[in-house]
Amino acid sequence: MTPDKKADFSGVSANVDTTAEKVEKADFSGVSASVDTTAEKVGEQTYTVVKGDTLSGIAKQFYGKAGKWNAIFDANRDQLDDPDRIQPGQVLKIPVLDD
């Protein structure tokens, strides 16, 4: 997929049948669920810088850790020479990090 594409769920459909008796209520006490990120499947994201943004703030927003700012800086070397000089309106690539 290209970086601008989002996952396409337009062809997804669902059908639910019940095995519970109509008089009884379904017991979901043993049900658990987990969600894995789709970031690897969707690919790189972009972010448009707004006034007051810093690379560490953007990194915290996307990665949960401000210390990952250098990944964003490295991915945008084509338009950034100094990590302290990002400008409102710049569209930065936000790379998917390898854990």
Q: Residue 45 belongs to a domain with what CATH number? A: 3.10.350.10
Q: Is 21 domain-assigned?
A: no
The whole-model pTM stands at 0.57
The confidence score (pLDDT) of residue 16 equals: 72
The confidence score (pLDDT) of residue 13 equals: 79
Q: Is 28 domain-assigned?
A: no
Identify the weakest region by mean pLDDT among 8-12, 40-44, 83-87, 94-98: 40-44
Cβ–Cβ under 8 Å, residues 49 and 86: yes
Matching residue, tokens 């019940």: 18
Ramachandran area for residue 52 (φ above 0: left; ψ -120 to 50: alpha; else beta)? left
Identify the weakest region by mean pLDDT among 17-26, 49-58, 88-97: 17-26
Total domains in the chain come to 1
Cβ–Cβ under 8 Å, residues 37 and 75: no
Q: Is 59 domain-assigned?
A: yes
The tally of CA atoms less than 13 A away on the side-chain side of residue 96 is 10
Q: Is 53 domain-assigned?
A: yes
In this prediction, residue 62 has a pLDDT band, given cuts at 50, 70 and 90, of very high
Q: Is 76 domain-assigned?
A: yes
Q: Is 78 domain-assigned?
A: yes
Tell me the average pLDDT of the chain: 82
Q: Is 29 domain-assigned?
A: no
In this prediction, residue 22 has a pLDDT band, given cuts at 50, 70 and 90, of low
Which domain does 52 fall in, by range?
Answer: 40-94
Q: Is 30 domain-assigned?
A: no
Total number of residues shown for the chain: 99
Q: What is the DSSP letter of 75?
A: H
Q: Quick: pLDDT tens for 28-45.
A: 777 777 666 555 545 679
